[in-house]
Amino acid sequence: MSLGQAFAPLIDLIFPPRCPLCGAAIGSASGLCSDCWSTLAIPGDPACNSCQRPFGNMMPEGGTCAPCLADPPRHSGIAAGTLYNEPSRKLVLTFKHGNRIALAPMMVGFMMPKLHFVDEGWLLVPVPLHRWRLWKRGYNQAAELARQIGRRSGARLCVDTLVRRKATRSLGGMGKLARQRALSGAIAVHPARKAALKGARVVLVDDVLTSGATSDACVSALRRAGAERVVIACFARVLDEALDI
């Protein structure tokens, strides 16, 4: 038992744990209240064979969604813990900008059922932050999630495998080509980590998957370095049409 676990009951007595979404009293500091738990949207099956986009009850012939048929992905699948809605958005913003690193174990709890295949033979690579953003925030939220996945799966955490060589502004509102131009040359594999990627199975970890432009740039860099498989893992995935389902 760790020192933190030993003192957890005393800390909970002095500072009763609260739900990070609504503030209601809860039994554990690493969870949500039952009401808020039920507001999170969990992606289900059936889903696309390539990207795990939920289909609801309408499974298309061949099992592949239209976006993947039109533009086959270079990744080996997407493991999303939740779909991006207002409750998951609030959790992500609190985790990312509210200095609530302690939310990472709970968020990873939603991700692990989709990562049941990950073991000590996999590498965990977080989406990188530019050094100035890392200095300002104090931590990389993707790395904190990857650290928790490693503790539960035995996979090896490789924090500095990818580097962001130039700062990029928000990609929101940009078209596909504009996003590609903004990210051109921005993300690369650390020269000292290239050898470890030859034939490797990699989980690329991020908090939110939106347009996929950043993850695509990361996947491309990892595949060019020789990674055999790259699965994208995120806490929340933006799929508005899946929320309607």
Give residue 59's pLDDT: 74
H or E element that contains 81: strand 78-83
Give residue 29's pLDDT: 64
Give residue 203's pLDDT: 98
Cα Rg for the chain, rounded, in angstroms?
Answer: 18
Q: Where are the domains of the chain?
A: 1-39, 40-244
Give residue 10's pLDDT: 38
Range 121-144 burial, b when 16+ CB lie within 10 A, else e: ebbbbbbbbbeeeeeeeeebbbbb
Give residue 28's pLDDT: 67
Residue type, 214: T
Question: Which of 138, 142, 150 lies closest to 204, judged by CA?
Answer: 142
Strand-pair category, 162-164 with 187-189: antiparallel
pLDDT 10s digit of each residue in the chain, 245 long?
443 444 344 344 445 688 989 988 887 666 899 999 999 999 988 999 999 999 877 777 778 998 999 999 999 999 999 999 999 999 999 998 878 898 999 999 999 999 999 999 999 999 998 888 888 888 999 999 999 999 999 999 999 999 998 766 665 556 566 676 767 778 999 999 999 999 999 999 999 999 888 999 999 999 999 999 999 999 999 998 777 75
Query: What span, in angstroms and rounded, lies between the C-alpha atoms of 126 and 206?
Result: 6
Q: What is the DSSP string of 150-173?
A: HHHH-PEE-TTSEEE-S-----TT
H or E element that contains 209: strand 201-209
Query: What span, in angstroms and rounded, lies between the C-alpha atoms of 119 and 57?
Result: 31
CATH topology of domain 40-244: Rossmann fold (3.40.50)
Report helix angle 104-111 to 86-97, nearest 10. 140
Q: Name the pTM for this structure.
A: 0.88
Give residue 160's pLDDT: 94
Q: Which residues contact 48 (CB under 8 A, 6 or more apart)?
A: 55, 63, 64, 65, 68
Give residue 13's pLDDT: 40
